[in-house]
């Protein structure tokens, strides 16, 4: 089955700096890669996703890149703010209506 690895497990950046979180996946059939943000005690929130026919996608301060050959994808957050502090999860799935396999999460701390 699919295996998703995520690094780093914790990340501390100063406000205004950029943050990068990286994930690798094992199943070459995976073609959908969402990112979720989870604040303490809250639900995972879908913040951005990318499909395998696209190499990069941007939404304001958030961008995701995908390298299908190397089977890795990354989340980039620019101009970080304290409210970006949360746990971020990457995930992969092999197609429509299929289960998500999650990475182990990255705890991002944005300090003033």
Q: Is 25 in the site for another protein (CB under 8 A)?
A: no
| Residues contacting residue 51 through CB under 8 Å, at least 6 positions apart | 31, 32, 33
> Do β-strands 56-59 and 62-67 pair in parallel, antiparallel, or remain unpaired?
antiparallel
Task: Report in angstroms how near the CB of residue 112 gets to another protein at its nearest.
Answer: 25
CA distance 21 to 105: 9
Question: What is the rounded radius of gyration, in angstroms, for the C-alpha atoms of the chain?
Answer: 13
Task: Report in angstroms how near the CB of residue 42 gets to another protein at its nearest.
Answer: 7
Partners of 12 in beta bridges: 109
Stretch that binds another protein, among 17-25, 53-61, 65-73, 101-109 (CB under 8 A): 101-109
Residue 90 in contact with residue 84, Cβ under 8 Å? Answer: no
57 vs 102, which CB is nearer to another protein? 102
Stretch that binds another protein, among 22-30, 58-66, 67-75, 102-110 (CB under 8 A): 102-110
Question: Token digits for 42?
Answer: 């809250």
Stretch that binds another protein, among 11-19, 54-62, 68-76, 88-96 (CB under 8 A): 88-96
Applying CB under 8 A, the residues found at the interface with another protein are: 1, 32, 34, 36, 42-46, 49, 51, 89, 93, 96-105
């Amino acid at each position: 089955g699919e295996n998703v690895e995520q690094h780093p497990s914790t990340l501390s950046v100063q406000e205004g700096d950029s943050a990068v979180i990286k994930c690798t996946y094992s199943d070459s059939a995976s073609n959908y890669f969402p990112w979720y943000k989870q604040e303490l005690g809250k639900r995972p929130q879908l913040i951005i996703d990318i499909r395998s026919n696209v190499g990069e996608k941007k939404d304001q301060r958030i961008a995701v890149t995908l390298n299908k050959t190397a089977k890795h994808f990354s989340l980039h957050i620019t101009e970080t703010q304290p409210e970006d502090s949360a746990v971020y999860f990457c995930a992969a799935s092999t197609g429509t209506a299929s289960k998500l396999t999650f990475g182990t999460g990255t705890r991002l701390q944005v300090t003033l």
